């Protein structure tokens, strides 16, 4: 039986076309493609790397979890050292371990937390300009936190996604949304059981519109009624978004 290997990664997504490898990945420059190319060289096997979430182009990860199956006899330490020798400097493997066959980085996850960073216009940090949304207007965090209360819970988030047509359920549960006003930026932390395509960026854009006074606090939930993308807010740019944490129940580890 093949071994099931789990990796915890972090990466700067600035120069990549997202996580997911499509087809041969020729010229696509994806995180998954980089990892699979190195694994092929390392093991001589054609290996698919499964990520806990398919981050979009330009989106980063503090903690991305991935797993793959292999026949290699290399130890987990040897696998990690091989990755670190051949990966570009904007992708790092933090840990490698062997997990039970039933572990699946995406399907086994019980919760994910995304972080979105918005620069304060009155005192932006020039060293973080590639990793924050340089929103030009003053935002009121209290309004954003009040608006976020309407978004927490079990809802149909179809109107908060860029999904056009799907036969899969668009119902998700948001466990919490925290608005953290810091000296030079405002952070939004969203924790839930799963997220649709562009969902976190659209939730962020909606909260920003409420925080800037461009929409009423209660209107953030209009898209729950209509399920129409036009009733939600703008799509926040990718560079401020980070996959921050992935959680798993103990029985799958």
Residues 234, 116 contacting (CB under 8 angstroms): no
- Rounded distance between C-alpha atoms, residue 246 and residue 24, angstroms: 28
Active-site entry in 25, 56, 73, 122: 56
The two structure tokens encoding residue 37 = 């190319």
Strand, helix or coil at 17? coil
Residues 198, 56 contacting (CB under 8 angstroms): yes
Residues 16, 9 contacting (CB under 8 angstroms): no
- Rounded distance between C-alpha atoms, residue 137 and residue 124, angstroms: 12
Beta bridge partners of 5: 68, 98
Q: Is 56 a catalytic residue?
A: yes
Task: Count Cβ atoms below 10 Å from residue 40 Cβ, excluding itself.
Answer: 12
- Rounded distance between C-alpha atoms, residue 191 and residue 115, angstroms: 9
Q: Which residues are catalytic?
A: 56
């Amino acid at each position: 039986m093949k071994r099931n290997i789990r990796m915890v990664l972090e990466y700067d997504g600035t120069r990549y076309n997202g996580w997911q490898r499509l087809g041969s990945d020729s010229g696509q420059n994806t995180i998954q493609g980089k990892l699979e190319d190195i694994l092929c060289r390392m093991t001589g096997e054609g290996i698919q790397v499964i990520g806990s979430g398919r981050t979009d182009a330009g989106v980063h990860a503090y903690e991305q979890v991935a797993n793959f199956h292999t026949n290699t006899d290399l130890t987990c330490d040897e696998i990690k050292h091989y990755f670190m020798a051949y990966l570009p400097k904007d992708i790092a493997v933090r840990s490698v371990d062997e997990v039970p066959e039933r572990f699946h980085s995406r399907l086994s996850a019980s919760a994910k937390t995304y972080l979105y960073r918005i620069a304060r216009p009155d005192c932006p940090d020039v060293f973080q300009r590639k990793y924050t949304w340089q929103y030009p207007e003053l935002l009121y965090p209290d309004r954003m936190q009040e608006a976020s209360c309407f978004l927490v819970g079990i809802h149909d988030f179809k109107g908060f996604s860029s999904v056009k047509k799907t036969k899969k359920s668009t119902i998700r549960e948001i466990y919490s949304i925290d608005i953290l006003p810091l000296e030079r930026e405002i952070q939004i932390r969203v924790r839930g059981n799963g997220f649709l395509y562009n969902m976190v960026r659209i939730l962020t854009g909606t909260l920003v519109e409420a925080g800037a006074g461009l929409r009423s606090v209660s209107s953030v939930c209009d898209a729950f009624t209509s399920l129409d993308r036009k009733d939600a807010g703008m799509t926040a740019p990718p560079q401020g978004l980070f996959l921050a944490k992935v959680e798993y129940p103990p029985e799958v580890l």
